[in-house]
Structure 1
Amino acid sequence: MERSSAIITKGKSLKEGPRTYIVYGVMRGGTSMVGGVLRGMGLHLGPDVDSQNQESAAFAGKPIPEMRKTIEEQNELHEIWGWKFPQAANYVDRLWGTIRKPHLICVYRDAVSNARGLNRWHPVGELQAIHESLLAQQKNLALSLMRGCPSLLISYEKAARNKEQFVEELADWTGLEANYEKFDFDGFMSEQSYKSFEDYCKEGFGPENSSDANSAA
């Protein structure tokens, strides 16, 4: 593995056939960037996806039975799909039996940088924010360690620093296609606040056709 690589892998990922990707991490920790990159590769991230944070409304604060129903519906519609929610480790165990061929994608961010971002949005004190970030990261790691499924651990900082290499690594692990003629990956990954997914889609590509090419529908 090159020193510039942004990833650590656990298990062998599937690159063909049905599978589900769950993108999680910590709040203000880079999951929106990774979710957007996956959408740029054509991955469907659930119904009613927010254009800026890449989260499906169906997996943000919904009761477990409703999320199970959504998973079953999406399994029928899409052979390959997933969802992004930073705190998914808080509930994904209760959904596990419904998830088809789960693949975990966990995004890590430097705890100090993450704490500064958290305090801008949710002021709790800098040291307390670091503490909360590290506790969440420990929980996320435990999920990857305990579940016998393919897992990808991503360094947000290294991904942002080596954009093209990261996009290639992510495409290789998922089996998805990173087509720069359809989506501006470099622009979308540039460091700034939330950005709209549509602004980086090129002509003929957008949310309405940002879906897996192997739809089961």
Structure 2
Amino acid sequence: MGATGEACISDVGIRHNLPDRQTAQQCVIVLGPGRSGTSMMSAILGQLGYNMGRRLDPANHEDQDFLEASRPISVLRKKAHPERAQRLETIRQLVRRRDREHEHWGWKDPMSAFYLDAVLPEIGNPLIIALFRDVVATTVSRYKLSRTGLGGGSRRDMPSMDTVLGKVLAYQQRMINLLVDVPHPQYWVSYEKATRNREIFIDDLQVFLGRPISTAQRKAISGLIAPGNRHALS
């Protein structure tokens, strides 16, 4: 299965490294900094029949099995950490099991940019969807979330705005470095443009996945993207 050389650009995003044709089995990995639309994307894939995890957190559509296997993320950030190899093997075992069990599956974990390159060889047909959102909007949203207490930690540990901005930029650069290094099919999505151009986004997604999206599914997906939906970001 060869890949096409040309990137496909739409009013919503960029599709590239596309195969000549999609195989039946697919694993879709959702990447993006927190508060960039990754929960929305995971919910959309669930609507399309992808198994996004057997223990999903309903608030953010994150697969708890992947979170438990990869935390604390500080172990995976440091290549010299003595526990890193064992942690990566645990994630590989999880990936191999899911790939055997499901024809269409995937996962969303914002921190997977720190380990994905090490586990991609275990996946038969990986596809990557990367969410990009205006960096100021992402920073403000994460900062506000930390002030509500929903972001975890005590109030005295809450980060400053410039600290949050630094973390958003550092994660985004890590994600970009990963994306340019791997040869697999990718769809880079602008969150703002997807929410403004829902039909184009759904058309893009249909082409990228190589699977028809029914009228009923289109309606459900459009509802997930619509302003006022619980997945809409502040």
TM-score calculated relative to the size of structure 1 = 0.81
Determine the C-alpha separation between the residues in 2 that align with 1:37 and 1:5: 19
AA in 2 matched with 1:9:
R
Q: Could you tell me how far apart the structure 2 residues matched to 1:2 and 1:163 are? A: 17
Deviation of the 1:145 alpha carbon: 0.3
Deviation at 1:16, TM superposition (A): 2.6
> Which structure's residues are more often helix, by fraction?
2
From 181, 184, 190, give the equivalent of 2:220. 184
SS of the residue corresponding to residue 216 of structure 2 reads coil
Unaligned runs of at least 5 residues, structure 1: 196-217
8 Å CA contact 2:53–2:107 kept in 1: the answer is: yes
- 1 or 2 for the larger relative contact order (CA 8 Å, sep ≥6)? 1
| Residue 55 of structure 1 pairs with residue 62 of structure 2 | yes
1:86 to 110, 130, 148: 110
**Structure 1 residues 17, 3: CA separation in 2 closer, same or farther (over 3 Å shift)?**
closer
Aligned residue type for 2:222? D
Matched ranges for 1:114-129 at <5 A: 114-122=138-146, 123-129=158-164
Task: Give the equivalent residue in structure 2 for 1:25.
Answer: 32
Aligned-partner residue type, residue 207 of structure 2: D
Change beyond 3 A, Cα 1:104–1:2 = closer
Moved over 6 A (4+): 1-4
Matching of residue 11 in structure 1 with residue 12 in structure 2: no
- The one-letter amino acid paired with 1:28 is R
* SS of structure 1 residue aligned to 2:204: helix
What residue number does 2:204 align with? 169
| TM-score normalised by the chain length of structure 2 | 0.75
CA offset digits 1:23-63 (Å, max 9, x no partner): 01001111011111111111111321223312111111414
Residue 10 (structure 1) shift: 2.1
Contact (CA 8 Å) 1:116, 1:126: kept in 2 or not?
Answer: yes
Quick check: 1:53–1:194 contact (8 Å CA) kept in 2?
Answer: no
Unaligned runs of 5+ in 2: 1-6, 70-86, 147-157
In the alignment, what sits opposite 1:157?
192
Whichever residue aligns with residue 185 of structure 1, its letter is I
Distance 1:16 1:3, change over 3 A: closer
Number of aligned residue pairs: give it: 195
CA contact (8 A) 1:112 1:130 kept: yes
User: Which secondary structure state, in structure 2, belongs to the residue aligned with residue 21 of structure 1?
Assistant: strand
Q: 1:118 to 1:143 in 2, by over 3 A?
A: same
- Cα 1:66–1:192, aligned 2, differ >3 Å: closer, same or farther? farther
Could you tell me whether the CA contact under 8 Å between 1:20 and 1:80 is conserved in 2? yes
Counterpart check, 1:42 vs 2:42: no
Structure 2 residue identity aligned to 1:40: Q
The answer to whether the 8 A contact 1:41-1:176 is kept is: no
CA contact (8 A) 2:14 2:187 kept: yes
> CA separation in 2, counterparts of 1:163 and 1:188?
10
Q: Which amino acid aligns with 2:184?
A: C
**What is the DSSP-based 3-state SS (H/G/I as helix, E as strand, rest coil) of the residue aligned with 2:110?**
coil
Q: Is the 8 A contact 2:223 2:229 kept in 1?
A: no
Shift of 1:180: 3.7
Q: CA deviation at 1:158?
A: 0.3
Larger Rg: 2
> Which residue in 2 is equivalent to 1:215?
none
